[in-house]
Structure 1
């Protein structure tokens, strides 16, 4: 079992992983269609999308967390 102190990092990892899979798949499908070679194009696109999504999430999370805490209700 992984320590609770890594929970936020794991959350960011899994969110960026899943969102990059979905977004790269949708963008590839819209731009090139779902046909022969779709899986290869999708995987190639995802290989670039995932590291970008991970770095973006790790960079933006500390900035967005205080902003969300300010605008979210205290209830």
Structure 2
């Protein structure tokens, strides 16, 4: 198992991977349509997107958390 201290990195890795997979799939399909090499085209686009998405999530997630905290009412 992975130590708990790596939870934010693992979260960012999984989130960025899944989101970039979905967005690149939709974008690739919209541009290329259902052609014979769609899967390999999609995987190529996904890997490129994930290279940018992972560091972006690492930078943006803490900012998003702070913004969310400003909108919440409660025990803080």
Measure the CA separation in 1 of the matches of 2:74 and 2:58: 25
Partner residue, 2:57: 57
Question: Alpha-carbon deviation of 1:8?
Answer: 1.5
TM-score (norm 1): 0.90
Partner residue, 2:29: 29
Partner residue, 1:74: 74
Question: Alpha-carbon deviation of 1:73?
Answer: 3.4
Partner residue, 2:38: 38
Q: Tell me how large the CA RMSD over aligned residues is.
A: 1.3
Deviating above 2 A after TM superposition, structure 1's stretches of 4 or more consecutive aligned residues are 72-75
Question: Alpha-carbon deviation of 1:61?
Answer: 1.2
The 10-residue stretch of structure 1 (2-11 or 17-26) with the greater mean CA deviation from structure 2: 2-11
Partner residue, 1:4: 4
TM-score (norm 2): 0.89
Measure the CA separation in 2 of the matches of 1:44 and 1:73: 43
Number of residue pairs matched? 75
